[in-house]
Amino acid sequence: MDKDKDKEAGDYISITQAGTEFGLNNSIIRAAIRRGTVRSMPHPWGVRVLRSDVAKLKAEQARIEHERTGL
């Protein structure tokens, strides 16, 4: 995908919004950004992630929770 096109579409959401709307853990989101798993962009009030990458974040969180609990 073209990064400029994503920015123009307004498809980026804040980490807090991703956590609230989709039940994602902030530390997992930040770790995924550091690894480059999800696309992000800087913002004056924090970092934003691409809304279409939320599915990747959900899968990552499920994997980590599965490893922690062993279920």
pLDDT at res. 55: 94
- Count of alpha carbons within 13 Å of 38, Cβ hemisphere only? 29
User: What pLDDT is stored for residue 23 in this prediction?
Assistant: 94
How is the chain split into domains, by residue range?
3-69
Compute the distance between CA of residue 47 and CA of residue 15 in angstroms, rounded to an integer.
7
Q: Strands of 46-50's sheet, edge to edge?
A: 12-14, 46-50, 40-43
CB neighbours of residue 48 within 10 Å = 20
**Cβ atoms of residues 13 and 6 within 8 Å:** no
| Mean pLDDT for back-to-back runs of 10 residues, the chain (71 residues) | 55 93 93 93 91 94 90 68
